[in-house]
């Protein structure tokens, strides 16, 4: 906290004030929640020409209509233009299909990352600029800063034209709400046109601003989970597209200890397997190193350690600290370097390898851990100082500098 909070729009944060000129037009993605509502309010009060846009995407529980109405009411309160853009078909193709296809292949996709890449900073971003926007803004908890002096020489080497500005994407002030993990696919061209007005505010401050301004979304509950599913479980949703198929659950020793209804529906690290027949068959205790005298109360929970959709098999490890649940090295694909100038730091020409020490995470909200990004040929590895738990192929691994700058990320293989 920065002492007693006072609502003062003249003290706007640096990521909003970058190179602003009078009446520059900003298209704000308004979801109908408090965060994007306050983003629009702050920008309007700073003198921007603000246009509110609600993106109608695929939704299962009907909340999209309510959210659109909430966004419209906020726009009316702020006296700004408001539009609804229909991206439902594109969302189904670029996000929903991506997720279903990913589970069908046996990986754990991240629809939030894909929504940001393809919809918010894809379709919405491009249409906004085409309609004359100078910037686009969202209610993400993240920060954009121009890098004025940092590694000036390397930045010039990378961009060649030293007149071009270089931007960094940083963690939010509120570390409990930080959403930079989901924004690792952003590029320099996009960051130059992005504003994240609430990135340097804490969540209680955002709600206080909304209440003081009388915004109708001030006390609206935050959305949880995958946005388009609502109260529908991901397993129930996937079963509409992928058939159930009985398969074996194996212990790490190879002993069969139960059955499941399809390896597609599970992810690495999952504890609640949705079954009630995990048991130790005759002789299974010995094969697993378990003492026969142990009671059911002594048993530790099982977690998915491996999955194979080709054989329709799950391998589970007993106990949350089981070594089978940890990995120290992971390979990445689809790498995106937000600020490639960092990766000019070290280069061994003999082996053509690049190395960068970072702080990284492989899951949202996971504590950052020391690691090295190693580039060799066309491959990239992330090597942690200490093994990491529940590393799921298909999820995003992202890495930061010690200053909290998001350097880039990739998809876990």
Q: What is the pLDDT of residues 313-361, one digit of tens each?
A: 999 999 999 999 999 999 999 999 998 777 654 444 443 456 789 999 9
Question: Of 320, 347, 376, which residue is a domain's last?
Answer: 320
Question: Of 213, 230, 263, which residue is a domain's last?
Answer: 213
Measured between alpha carbons, how far is residue 198 from residues 16, 34, 287 in Å? 9, 11, 55
Is 333 found in the same domain as 204? no
Is 145 found in the same domain as 21? yes
Instruction: At 149, list the tokens.
Output: 């002096």
Q: 369-376 and 353-361 as β-strands: parallel, antiparallel, unpaired? A: antiparallel
The domain of 359 spans 325-412
In a domain, 161, yes or no: yes
Is 110 found in the same domain as 94? yes
Identify the CA nearest to 17 among candidates 196, 246, 233, 237. 196
In a domain, 64, yes or no: yes
**Contact between residue 169 and residue 323 where contact means Cβ atoms under 8 Å apart:** no
Is 175 found in the same domain as 64? yes
Is 188 found in the same domain as 57? yes
Is 311 found in the same domain as 294? yes
In a domain, 219, yes or no: no
Is 99 found in the same domain as 21? yes
Q: How far apart are CA 94 and CA 114, in angstroms?
A: 8
In a domain, 46, yes or no: yes
Sign of CA dihedral 158, 164, 165, 167: negative
Q: Predicted confidence band at 228 (pLDDT cuts at 50, 70, 90)?
A: confident
Is 401 found in the same domain as 338? yes
pLDDT of residue 377: 59
In a domain, 3, yes or no: no
pLDDT over 70, % of the chain: 80
Q: What's the CATH code of the domain at 140?
A: 3.40.50.620
Report the number of distinct structural domains present in the chain: 3
Is 209 found in the same domain as 81? yes
Is 83 found in the same domain as 133? yes
Query: Can you tell me the mean pLDDT for 390-409?
Result: 96
In a domain, 223, yes or no: no
In a domain, 238, yes or no: no
Query: Can you tell me the mean pLDDT for 10-37?
Result: 72
Write out pLDDT tens, residues 144-153.
Answer: 999 875 454 5
Write out pLDDT tens, residues 28-80.
Answer: 999 999 999 999 999 999 999 999 999 999 887 767 899 999 999 999 999 99
**Contact between residue 363 and residue 411 where contact means Cβ atoms under 8 Å apart:** no
Sign of CA dihedral 408, 396, 413, 330: positive
Which positions are annotated as active-site residues? 115, 227
Is 267 found in the same domain as 127? no
In a domain, 7, yes or no: no
Identify the CA nearest to 104 among candidates 296, 199, 240. 240
Q: How far apart are CA 113 and CA 102, in angstroms?
A: 13
Is 101 found in the same domain as 73? yes
Measured between alpha carbons, how far is residue 374 from residues 131, 184, 342 in Å? 41, 18, 13
Phi, psi of 302 (to 5 degrees): -100, 145
Write out pLDDT tens, residues 168-204.
Answer: 999 999 999 999 999 999 999 999 999 999 999 999 9
Q: How far apart are CA 371 and CA 358, in angstroms?
A: 5
pLDDT of residue 6: 41
């Amino acid at each position: 906290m920065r002492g007693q909070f006072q609502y003062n729009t003249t003290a706007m944060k640096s990521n909003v004030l970058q190179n602003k000129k009078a009446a520059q037009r900003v298209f704000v993605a308004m979801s109908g929640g408090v965060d994007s509502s306050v983003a629009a309010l702050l920008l309007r009060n700073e003198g921007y020409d603000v246009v509110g846009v609600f993106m109608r995407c695929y939704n299962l529980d009907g909340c999209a209509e309510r959210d659109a109405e909430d966004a419209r009411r906020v726009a009316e309160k702020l006296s700004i233009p408001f539009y609804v853009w229909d991206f439902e078909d594109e969302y189904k193709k670029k996000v929903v299909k991506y997720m279903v296809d990913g589970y069908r292949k046996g990986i754990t996709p991240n629809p939030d990352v894909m929504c940001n890449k393809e919809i918010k900073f894809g379709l919405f971003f491009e249409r906004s600029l085409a309609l004359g926007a100078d910037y686009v803004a969202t209610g993400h908890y993240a920060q954009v800063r121009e890098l004025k002096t940092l590694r000036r020489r390397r930045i010039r080497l990378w961009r060649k034209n030293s007149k071009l500005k270089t931007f960094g994407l940083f963690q939010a002030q509120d570390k409990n709400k930080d959403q930079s993990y989901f924004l690792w696919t952003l590029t320099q061209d996009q960051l130059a046109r992005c504003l994240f007005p609430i990135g340097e505010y804490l969540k209680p401050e955002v709600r206080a601003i909304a209440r003081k301004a009388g915004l109708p979304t001030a006390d609206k509950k935050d959305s949880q989970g995958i946005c388009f599913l609502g109260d529908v479980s991901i397993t129930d949703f996937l079963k509409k597209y992928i058939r159930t198929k009985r398969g074996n659950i194996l212990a790490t020793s190879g002993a069969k200890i139960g059955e499941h209804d399809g390896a597609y529906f599970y992810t690495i690290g999952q504890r609640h397997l949705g079954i009630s027949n995990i048991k130790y068959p005759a002789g299974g205790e010995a094969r697993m190193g378990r003492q026969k005298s142990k009671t059911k109360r002594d048993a530790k929970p099982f977690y998915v350690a491996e999955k194979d959709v080709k054989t329709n098999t799950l391998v589970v490890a007993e106990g949350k600290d089981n070594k089978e649940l940890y990995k120290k090295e992971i390979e990445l694909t689809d790498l995106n370097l937000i600020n490639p100038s960092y990766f000019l730091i070290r280069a061994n020409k003999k082996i053509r390898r690049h190395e960068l020490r970072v702080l990284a995470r492989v899951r949202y909200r996971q504590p950052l851990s020391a690691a090295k990004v190693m580039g060799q040929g066309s491959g990239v590895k992330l090597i942690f100082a200490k093994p990491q738990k529940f590393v799921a192929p298909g999820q995003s691994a992202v890495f930061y500098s010690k200053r909290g700058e998001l350097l880039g990320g990739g998809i876990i293989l």
